[in-house]
């Protein structure tokens, strides 16, 4: 009856990252760290997981001689997020459950 939720996006931190990236062209590592309130190490692991699954791209540059990591959501990531949201809506739509009173 219920579709499975995407296990990649079902992580709180990864879902937060993708949610942020849905609304912006790109986000820097430091901004994502501040928004998600996770350690740099944990954020790196979660970004790597999203990158491995081709949900995001990661670009490393330098700005004023300091390293800057920028993340962007991919088309695959956008589609995965939209599907995840639709699946959650199915879970929340109790009319489809046909409960008897």
The pLDDT value recorded for residue 96 is 62
Q: Domain 12-97 maps to which CATH number in 3.40.50.80, 3.20.20.70, 3.30.70.920, 1.10.10.10?
A: 1.10.10.10
Question: Tokens 């300091």 correspond to what residue?
Answer: 66
User: How far are the Cα atoms of 3, 28, 31 from residue 96, in angstroms, in the given order?
Assistant: 13, 41, 40
Alpha-carbon distance of 82 to 20, in angstroms, equals 13
Q: What residues does each domain of the chain span?
A: 12-97
Question: Using one digit for the tens of pLDDT, what is the confidence trace for 6-59?
Answer: 999 999 999 999 999 999 999 999 999 999 999 999 999 999 999 999 999 999
Q: Is the pLDDT of residue 85 over 90?
A: yes
**Residue 61 β-bridge partners:** 68
The pLDDT value recorded for residue 82 is 97
b or e along 49-61 (b: 16 or more beta carbons within 10 Å of the residue's beta carbon)? bbeebebbeeeee
């Amino acid at each position: 009856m219920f579709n499975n939720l995407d296990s990649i996006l079902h992580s709180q931190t990864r879902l937060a990252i993708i949610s942020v990236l849905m609304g912006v062209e790109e986000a820097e590592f430091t901004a994502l760290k501040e928004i998600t309130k996770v350690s740099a190490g944990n954020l790196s692991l979660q970004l790597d997981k999203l990158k491995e699954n081709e949900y995001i791209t990661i670009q490393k540059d330098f700005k004023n001689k300091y390293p800057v990591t920028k993340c962007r959501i991919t088309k695959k990531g956008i589609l995965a997020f939209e599907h995840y949201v639709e699946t959650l809506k199915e879970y929340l739509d109790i009319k489809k459950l046909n409960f008897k009173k």
